[in-house]
Amino acid sequence: MRALPTSRTNSLPNRITEHDIDRSHISTSAVTVVEQLRDAGFEAYLVGGCVRDLLIGLTPKDFDVATSATPDEVRGVFRRVRLVGRRFRIAHVRLGREVIEVSTFRRAHDTDEDEFPVDLADNSLGEEDDSGYAEVDEPATPPRAGEEQELSDQGMLLRDNLYGTIDDDAFRRDFTVNALYYDPIDDTLLDYCDGMADIRARKLRLIGDAETRFREDPVRILRAVRFEAKLGFALDADTEAAIAPMSELLTAIAPARLFDEFGKLFLSGHALAAFERMRERDLIEILLPLPPHAEPIAEAALKSTDSRLAEDKPVTAGFLLAAFLWHEYLDRCDHTGPIGNGQDNARVANAVIAEQQFTISIPKRHALFVRDVWNLQPKLEKRSPKQVQSLLEHPRFRAAYDFLMLRVDTHDAPAELGEWWTERQKQVGEPAEAGAEQHNGEATEASPNGSRRRRRRRRRRPGRGPSSLARRHEGTAP
């Protein structure tokens, strides 16, 4: 079995000049960022998921740059820069409409030197993006001097961020396939961890000891599953073997962060594949309760979500949550035939959603979406002619109808019920396409009740009279 280096000792990279990167798929803005950092005297490379995707023939959605420049130095090179991140400061460089994420080379704290550490002080450490590093959108806070690497009692990293060199940075990343650095100027790759060999073998391999890396950040388990599903790669034996003994550590992860990972797993276009791999490893119940009889509707919702993404239609976590938790809700309703009365249903829905907050924190807009979809099901089951028009005009009708059709497809509701509502829509004219309502929240600025949020009136600055310009723009968003 091939041993991988785990530190910067013996860390000369393999320089690769022959590869399969199609330069026409590279963002010109990302290349410009690299060029300008180089012109300013800094090292800079494309890195992480964008390089990996280019090598396997995919067109990256985002491009990340790693550099020897600190965030403040990056801000000195570019005009439009926003520094974000409490745990590790990252520069968002805007060129035109594109934002390129620029991170400084990092290393683990392994000396007593007076370095420049960066705060990582909470459980949300390691909210890694597709490159293997933290993805945050918070105003940057100044680093505190004197902090060293800090681990929890379980070995989870709490603080472990210092600026370093490119070879330090390579060994800090999670998987070998994410530790490839591409120079778009001379079209070469730097490979410190045999990532190119793993890409050719279609293998996912953690850098260093697998149990240690999972213990440092258990969310890497979910990332392994996500990359496995997205890339079609197989986990190497050591990575696979470490999942079962380390999976319990996921219960210590902050619920808000687990919700974030839920979205990344199941809203990426490979939801069904990710679900199957999660189920094989008994990981589903760590996120949400899902007994065997509840799996069919969850699978149907995941399949529908994948199809919508393939058609470039909007999706939302709320629709998936409604499916995942549906049978938990039903079991508590204790219904026979049409689901009980409205007030009881609402109380049950609120209780089911509230209990999940201790495991996977569901944002309010998604919780309201789930509750509305569930509460509309008994009204659809009644098929009252007097309520047809009002239900068709309900802002959540299309979401509830789509959910009903999932129930029909999984034999949870009679086929004639779905046919009845399909016919009613034909009689009055089709409502808006499903994507406009079923999946609001991620793709559109929609309020929980389905209408667009009203733009807030711009506040007038104190001491200034109303100019014609102010009057002309009064009532618009800044």
Element at 95 (helix H, strand E) = strand 90-95
CA neighbor of 262 nearest in space, from 275, 252, 280, 273: 275
**What does the pLDDT look like over 201-211, one tens digit per residue?**
999 999 999 99
Q: Which of residues 110 and 399 earns the better pLDDT score?
A: 399
C-alpha count within 13 angstroms, C-beta hemisphere, residue 374: 35
In terms of phi and psi (left: phi > 0; alpha: psi -120 to 50; beta: otherwise), the region of 243 is alpha
Beta strand pairing call for 162-163 and 14-16 = unpaired
How far apart (Å, rounded) are the C-alpha atoms in residues 327 and 401? 17
Q: pLDDT-derived band of residue 370, with 50, 70 and 90 as boundaries?
A: very high
Type of residue numbered 243: I
Q: What is the mean pLDDT of residues 218-234?
A: 96
Residue 107 pLDDT: 84
Residue 437 pLDDT: 45
Q: Both ends of the chain: CA-CA distance in Å?
A: 58
288-437 sits in which CATH class? mainly alpha
Above 50 in pLDDT, residue 290?
yes
Cα angle value 277/279/285 (rounded, 5°): 130
Q: Which of residues 346 and 144 earns the better pLDDT score?
A: 346
Task: Let me know: does 221 contact 17? Beta carbons within 8 Å.
Answer: no
Q: Which of residues 405 and 8 earns the better pLDDT score?
A: 405
Q: What is the pTM of this model?
A: 0.77
Above 60 in pLDDT, residue 235?
yes
Catalytic: which of 53, 64, 194, 260?
64
Mean pLDDT of all residues in the chain?
81
Q: Which of residues 12 and 77 earns the better pLDDT score?
A: 77
Catalytic: which of 119, 130, 168, 174?
174
How far apart (Å, rounded) are the C-alpha atoms in residues 106 and 134? 12
Residue 475 pLDDT: 38
**What does the pLDDT look like over 32-73, one tens digit per residue?**
999 999 999 999 999 999 999 999 999 999 999 999 999 999
Above 90 in pLDDT, residue 258?
yes
Residues 6+ away with beta carbon under 8 Å from 478: 458
Q: pLDDT-derived band of residue 289, with 50, 70 and 90 as boundaries?
A: confident
Q: Which of residues 350 and 121 earns the better pLDDT score?
A: 350
Catalytic: which of 62, 168, 191, 402?
62
How far apart (Å, rounded) are the C-alpha atoms in residues 411 and 462? 62
**What does the pLDDT look like over 340-368, one tens digit per residue?**
556 678 899 999 999 999 999 999 999 99
Above 80 in pLDDT, residue 464?
no
Residue 335 pLDDT: 53
Q: What is the mean pLDDT of residues 372-382?
A: 94
Where in the chain do CATH 1.10.3090.10 domains reside? 288-437
Residue 154 pLDDT: 53
Type of residue numbered 188: T
The yes-or-no answer on residue 130 being catalytic is no
Above 70 in pLDDT, residue 269?
yes
| Joined tokens for residue 337 | 């035939």
CA neighbor of 62 nearest in space, from 27, 10, 104, 90: 27
Above 50 in pLDDT, residue 434?
no
Q: How many CB atoms lie within 10 A of CB 176?
A: 26
Residues 6+ away with beta carbon under 8 Å from 238: 1, 205, 206, 209, 210
Above 90 in pLDDT, residue 16?
yes
The yes-or-no answer on residue 174 being catalytic is yes
The yes-or-no answer on residue 62 being catalytic is yes
Above 70 in pLDDT, residue 395?
yes
Where in the chain do CATH 3.30.460.10 domains reside? 14-201
Q: What does the DSSP assignment read for 421-477? A: HHHHHHHH---S-HHHHTTTTTSS-B-TTSSBPPPPPPPPPTT----HHHHHHTTS-
Task: List the CATH code of the domain at 14-201.
Answer: 3.30.460.10
Residue 85 pLDDT: 83
Above 70 in pLDDT, residue 117?
no
